Amino acid sequence: MSAAVVRLLTCGSVDDGKSTLIGRLLVETDSVPHDTIGAARKVRRSGSTIPAGEIDFSLLTDGLEAEREQGITIDVAYRSMTLLDGKRLIISDAPGHEQYTRNMVVAASRADIGLVLVDAMRGVRTQTLRHLTICSLMGVSRIIIAINKLDAMDYSERVFAEISAEIEKAVARLEIKDFQIIPLSALAGDNVVFPSTNMPWYSGPTLQDAIQNWQKPVDPDAQGLMRIQMIARADNFRGVSGTVRRGTFSQGDEVTIFPSNQKATIGSIVTFENEIKKAETDSAVTLVLVPEVDATRGDIIAKSASDLVASDRLAAHVVWLNEDPLIHSRSYLLVSGATSTPAIITKIRHKIDVNTGEHNSSDVLKMNEIGDVEVATDIPVVMRPYSDSREFGNFILVDRLTLKTVGAGMVRHSLRRASNVTHQDYEVDKAQRSAQKSQKARVVWLTGLSGSGKSTIANALEKRLFASGAHPYVLDGDNLRLGLNMDLGFTPEDRAENVRRVSEVAKLMVDAGLIVISALVSPFEVDRNRAKSIFEDGEFLEIFVDTPVDVCRTRDPKGLYKKSAAGDIPNFTGVGQDYEAPSSPDLHLDGTASIEENVEKILKILL
């Protein structure tokens, strides 16, 4: 069945002519109000060379005044038109600047057709290849490569052939199956809607034809899959509403609901207008289930139970969207549909060179880079391979501190080892171990600059607790780096992994019923928050030993400040690397006060 809506994404490098091309397409298909066209004849961008009275087609897709002032496209501008067969075409004009790649990624995640422009005068550029790669990863089913501005190259067949050959190499590398390369001129109108008389050597489709003849791929073997968007209630009526994202549902089908794994039968299928026997893909319906199982918004309904395999370990492609790099071992929020769970990038397998397709080893992903990663989530989530389902194969990563969206992910597959490892319960538990020692197992997490006094306070606190009959143990950052963490350096990603390992060891020791004292610089708040998140409420006490850097530098018990001043330690916290003070610690200590005074303050909240 043909889709009622087709989504077209336009992308390419800056000044490749995207806005002009889409403006031309809209005008020549009579999809723009006449008063808007009239304004485009009068308004001019700064520095525009378009003669007065002629249409500046690029203005028809720009939505921000800042874009007109700068002569660039910043936001994704949306326009719509009706195709010849009655389908509605939604056109998104994505920004060409590299720093706005995140806008393009969002639009690509929903696009059916990707239109990538190449300036014939400049040829294939890095941003062109990046956009091709993103379109491929995002599952755009047809990609049209428009080689634009051929009017400026005397409509040269040779120029078109050379650029096409380079494009075809990238297309083959990315395994793009459905693509078309079209020579055109957005400014002159060649091959946009009407075939060009200036390029008799080209006999392929126009841009409008390539869009018009696209048909949505259909998997005849796909089983019904739907996410519940709302619970519909009325007198003597209760149903679950949503859009069928894959396959079909029929009256009488047995379905499974995740995460409860309850089973039910579809008693009836209701639309806004009437009751139907079968719901096709993209249909918005309400399913009446028999019996009325306990299901809620965000739950997933599947006709095949095998579609509901949950996993807490995933392999995925990630497009990194944040100015700060992706750091493995740092905790982010993974959001997929209505599911949100803490997640860690356990490994960056490689990053993808968008120019060559090579896989380069890396410990970080920088802004706009694309990587192949492994993800571990705190709870199992239902995810399908993105190539199989865009709806259930995508996720975003959110910074837990700023709540900014920092990454867009596409699931490749679940990792089999996730289902091979299960938690083993033992009859002696944490409460019994703590009771045996007559204490409440806790973590005292001391954070602060090097030289702030963390280790000295930890030592004095352990002595006091031990003398009172308690069972404490100190996890000192330097001591751990001599063994467990000897493979780690002091980059942000290594510090994140350092904190992760120490927190996991501390959790085991708390489970053993001990009072754990951690003396660790742990400079980044997001890493300390992740450490706290793995403990039960009240088990983790974050204590900030606040000592001015000048005092720490004067103390310099390990000679590190002296080495840093000599340039021997480039990533030294407080000098070459920032320290993020806790925003709401459980206790704020003055690092210049006496050791005894600070220990008493800790004991007061600990015991």
| Long-range CB contacts (within 8 A, 24+) of 486-493 | 489/571, 490/569, 490/571, 490/572, 490/573, 490/577, 491/363, 491/571, 492/325, 492/327, 492/330, 492/524, 492/577, 493/327, 493/328, 493/329, 493/330, 493/363, 493/364
Q: Is residue 68 over pLDDT 60?
A: no
Contacts of 486 (CB under 8 A, 6+ apart): none
Number of domains in the chain: 4
Residue 83 has pLDDT above 50, yes or no: yes
Tell whether the model's pLDDT for residue 3 goes beyond 70.
no
Q: What is the mean pLDDT of residues 197-216?
A: 91
- Domain holding 232, by residue range, is 225-306
Q: Could you give the percent of the chain with pLDDT greater than 70?
A: 87
pLDDT band at 72 (very low <50, low <70, confident <90, very high): very low
At 381, the pLDDT band (50, 70, 90 cuts) reads: confident
- pLDDT grade, residue 58 (50/70/90)? low
By 3-state DSSP, what share of the chain in percent is helix, strand and coil, each rounded to 5?
30, 30, 40
- Residue 590, classed as helix, strand or coil, is strand
Choose one of 417, 444, 464: the last residue of a domain: 417
Q: In this predicted structure, what is the pLDDT of residue 73?
A: 46
pLDDT at position 186: 87
> Which residues on adjacent β-strands are paired with residue 263?
256
Residue 32 has pLDDT above 90, yes or no: no
Question: For residue 217, is it within any domain?
Answer: no
Same domain (yes/no): 264, 325: no
Is residue 355 a part of any domain in this protein? Answer: yes
The CATH number for 406's domain is 2.40.30.10
- Mean pLDDT within 243-270: 88
* Residue 515 falls inside a structural domain: yes
Give the mean pLDDT of 513-528. 93
Q: What is the mean pLDDT of the chain?
A: 85
Q: What is the mean pLDDT of residues 259-274?
A: 87
Answer yes or no: do 53 and 126 share one domain: yes
Among 36-50, 150-164, 310-324, the least confident range:
36-50
Q: Are residues 9 and 104 in the same domain?
A: yes
pLDDT classification of 45: cutoffs 50, 70, 90: low
Residue 21's pLDDT band, with cuts at 50, 70 and 90, is confident
**Structural domain contains residue 218:** no
Least confident of 178-187, 420-429, 484-493, 597-606: 420-429
Q: One-letter amino acid identity for 317?
A: H
Domain membership of residue 247 (yes or no) is yes
Residue type, 51: P
Length of the chain: 607
Residue 421 has pLDDT above 60, yes or no: yes
Q: Which of 188, 212, 236 is the last residue of a domain?
A: 212
Strand partners, 269: 276, 287
Same domain, 13 and 131: yes
Q: Are 312 and 343 in contact (CB under 8 A)?
A: no
Rounded distance, CA 48 to CA 310, Å? 55
Percent above pLDDT 90 for the chain = 40
**pLDDT (tens digit per residue) in 402-416:** 889 999 999 988 886
Q: Does position 66 have pLDDT exceeding 70, yes or no?
A: no
Q: Are 89 and 78 in contact (CB under 8 A)?
A: no
Confidence check: pLDDT of 46 > 80: no
- Taking residues 1-5, what's their average pLDDT? 56
Supply the pTM of this predicted model: 0.71
Mark whether 560 and 493 lie in a shared domain.
yes
State the average pLDDT over residues 241-268.
88
- The answer to the question of residue 424 being in a domain is no
Residues 552 and 501 both lie in one domain:
yes
pLDDT at 557: 82
pLDDT at 595 over 80: yes
For residue 82, what pLDDT band results from cuts at 50, 70 and 90? Answer: confident
In terms of domains, do 300 and 317 share one?
no
Q: State yes or no: pLDDT of 379 exceeds 70.
A: yes
| 422 inside domain | no
Q: What does the pLDDT read at residue 91? A: 84
- Give yes or no for a contact between 193 and 182, defined as CB atoms under 8 angstroms apart: no
| 364 and 478 share one domain | no
Q: What is the CATH number of the domain that holds 95?
A: 3.40.50.300
Residue where one domain finishes, among candidates 190, 212, 234: 212
- Residue bearing the bigger pLDDT, 381 or 499: 499
What pLDDT is attached to residue 327? 84
Claim to verify: residue 135 and residue 266 sit in the same structural domain:
no
pLDDT band at 53 (very low <50, low <70, confident <90, very high): low
Q: Give dist(CA 338, CA 230) in Å, integer.
A: 11
Q: Are residues 159 and 54 in the same domain?
A: yes
Shared domain for 91 and 182, answered yes or no, is yes
Using alpha carbons, select from 517, 426, 412, 534 the residue that is nearest to residue 466.
517
Residue 124 in any domain: the answer is: yes
Domain shared by 253 and 293, yes or no: yes
In the predicted structure, residue 95 carries a pLDDT above the cut 90: no
- The dihedral formed by the CA atoms of 543, 547, 552 and 557, expressed in degrees to the nearest 10: -40
61-75, 256-270, 300-314, 321-335: segment of lowest average pLDDT = 61-75
Burial 215-248 (b: 16+ CB within 10 A, else e): eeeeeeebbbbbbbbeeeeeeeeebbbbebbbbb
pLDDT score for 71: 47
- Range in 339-348, 381-390, 499-508 with the lowest mean pLDDT: 381-390
**In the structure, what pLDDT confidence band is assigned to residue 558 with cuts at 50, 70 and 90?**
confident
